[in-house]
Amino acid sequence: MRHCKILAMTLWLLPLSVTAELLQPEIGLGWTNGWASEWRKNVPGLRVSDSKVKVTENLTKVVRRWTWTGTEPLEQVTLAVRYRVEGDAKALKPFVPGILMYGNPSNKGRMDGRVPVFAGESGEFAIFEEHRLPMPFALLEDVTSGTFAALHTLPSPVCGAKCEDLWWSLGVESFKDGSDIVMLSGPVGYNRRRSVVKATQGAALPYDETYITLLPGQVVEKTFWVETGTATKEAFGFEQALDVSLSLFRPYDAERFEKYNGIVETKRRFALSRWVEGPVSNACGFDMYDPQYKWRHLTIGWCGCAATCGYALPVLDFDSSDWDKAQRSLDFLCDVFMDTVQTDGLFRVTFDMKTGKTMGGDPVSCGQGLYSVLKAIRFVERQGRLDASKWRRFAARVADAMAANILRKDWCEPASTGPGFLVAPLVVASEMFGKPDCLAAAQKLAGAFERKYFGYDAVYWGGTLDASCEDKEGAYAAFQGYLELLRNAVASKDAAAERRYARLAQHAMNMMLTYTMVWDATYPPGRLSDHAFKSTGWTVVSAQNQHLDVFGVLTTPEIWRMGEYLGDERLKRLAAVMYRTCFQLTDASGSLGEQIQQTNFAQQGNTSDVRRLRGGYAERWTVFWLTAHFLNAAAQFKEMGVSL
């Protein structure tokens, strides 16, 4: 792809000054019903001062200092920084990366705690621990004028806290005449509940008594940056804030992580340990589950990714036996699922090796599985070493049915971005089989996402596991599809389509990147601390599942390609970090679990004490995608001639 300079990430900002009126100090005293009892502008003996440096015309660094000059401890204190944004609070859309994307509109009105929501109603608030933030900023963007303000912070724990492992918090709060971006020395809450954290998949848990004590002579400092600007169609406010966050934290040092070649070799070795055969005739492939579990499933797409090795192993070309496994495994999958293809193109995605039964089938898994099969066909037919005839028949039947379904006049636009995983394989199928209908279907589906998500009223959501919340996989589904359409537009020299899909791909990629950790959190004593775990480059799952996982590894080749297209070397360097950092915690056998608990959130185990959730991970849950994504991405990099 050629470089398109007009779409490179830029800052379109208003020259607003950071005045004393906009950054009023506020001190909470006492503690009642889970919050500060009273708020004061001044407390005798507590000096508050700001040191400011203008970084750019529209970015100011501030170090706020609180000094307690009293002779006795000042107890039950809450320190606050507020940045006031005036206007219609309902028009001020909040963006807190990984947690609250424009208020999480897909969960509008839902207050059960499953997902944080924010509508801008007077008295509403959404404030979260800093260690929960992949990119530590909170933003308010006026959808009527485009003006926005963002508060970027240097995350840190709080000194003098009553409770263990208390961190500063960041979020937003609404009033009658506007909203505040607010930073507090600990208190949190959301969905009109104070002193609660998003700690489990389905609900919030109490997190009370988050105040501090200031000792005589104690000094507290907090570093933050204030950004102001104006959103445009070329750069929404969250995209400009993302750009600033990358500039502030520079998360580009890949050399502190495991070497790329060693990662690929280890993951290939572990994949081969999942190879299973029989007892059903000709059944073979890569088991979704660890042998410790009773299941024996060959699953195509999503958690199983059994088709991935049919593509990746020949490309990586470690040994001739890998080619044989690719041939046999894809032959079996295409045979066993061929007769399950429905009129809409969906098919069964899981084969139970014990019973011989097939089950499941959804757009996400079918789209991902088809994409792997098509990439395998494209590669091995160039090499001429394997027989892709069965793969071709299967892929053509699926693609034809998917395209016909989407092109129906009575086709209903999807409620979520899950079907977005159909776009990329349909583009490839249109080229491979010479079928214009496949490209037309991909464009129609992409157009539905463009109308729905390129704005403020909806955010990419429901891509995979989290069926009704904003998530990074939903953004990735759109990004992957737009990028294939962009490649096709460049190849066909369609300048208008190129401009359109380049902007859409950039928007979806940027939304996806806001789930990416750009800093290293510190941890209480525990397993992550024992491993000296570095969180930079890992990705938060969703507004519902507030933990880290390695899914971001799969996105790295596309991020790299976008970096090439935009002429942005930062994206290439970030892709290298994202791939290599996620090898951390891998044991000697190559096994890696998931659900990294960088914050007060857990999906399993004892969740009765929210203050003990940080610092663990699910080591034994090793579904095959955790390995397959490394190999899938590595194969794409090799075809691109890239080594990380």
Say if 510 falls within a structural domain. no
Q: Based on the domain organization, do 266 and 203 belong to the same domain?
A: no
* pLDDT, mean of residues 397-423: 96
> Chain-centre distance of CA 318, in angstroms?
31
Rounded percentage of the chain residues whose pLDDT exceeds 70 = 96
pTM of the shown model: 0.94
* pLDDT, mean of residues 92-109: 95
Query: What mean pLDDT, rounded, does the chain reach?
Result: 93
* pLDDT, mean of residues 121-150: 97
Say if 85 falls within a structural domain. yes
* pLDDT, mean of residues 566-570: 97
Q: Based on the domain organization, do 570 and 619 belong to the same domain?
A: yes
Say if 228 falls within a structural domain. yes
Say if 350 falls within a structural domain. no
* pLDDT, mean of residues 130-146: 97
Cβ proximity of 397 and 341 under 8 Å:
yes
What is the C-alpha to C-alpha distance for residues 453 and 507, in angstroms, rounded to an integer? 9
Residue 519 CA: distances (Å) to CA of 5, 223, 396, 586:
29, 15, 44, 21
Q: Based on the domain organization, do 154 and 268 belong to the same domain?
A: no
Please give the full DSSP string across 318-386, using - where no structure is assigned: --HHHHHHHHHHHHHHHHHHHTT--TTS----EEETTT--EE---HHHHHHHHHHHHHHHHHHHHHT-S
Whole-number pLDDT of residue 10: 30
- Domain residues for the domain of 572 are 256-274+515-644
Q: Based on the domain organization, do 242 and 262 belong to the same domain?
A: no
Has residue 466 got a pLDDT over 80?
A: no
Q: Based on the domain organization, do 261 and 206 belong to the same domain?
A: no
Q: Based on the domain organization, do 160 and 39 belong to the same domain?
A: yes
Q: Based on the domain organization, do 223 and 264 belong to the same domain?
A: no
Has residue 1 got a pLDDT over 70?
A: no
Q: Based on the domain organization, do 46 and 139 belong to the same domain?
A: yes
Whole-number pLDDT of residue 11: 30
State the total domains in the chain.
2
Q: Based on the domain organization, do 197 and 265 belong to the same domain?
A: no
Which tens digits make up the pLDDT trace of 63-81? Answer: 999 999 999 999 999 999 9
Residue 7: which pLDDT band, with cuts at 50, 70 and 90?
very low
Q: Based on the domain organization, do 59 and 23 belong to the same domain?
A: yes
* Residue among 517, 613, 457 at smallest CA distance from 97: 517
Whole-number pLDDT of residue 115: 93
Whole-number pLDDT of residue 462: 86
Say if 374 falls within a structural domain. no
* pLDDT, mean of residues 122-151: 97
Cβ proximity of 24 and 82 under 8 Å:
yes
Which tens digits make up the pLDDT trace of 232-265? Answer: 999 999 999 999 999 999 999 999 999 999 999 9
Which tens digits make up the pLDDT trace of 520-553? Answer: 999 999 999 999 999 999 999 999 999 999 999 9
Which tens digits make up the pLDDT trace of 369-396? Answer: 999 999 999 999 999 999 999 999 999 9
User: Is residue 52 helix, strand or coil?
Assistant: strand
Residue 112: which pLDDT band, with cuts at 50, 70 and 90?
confident
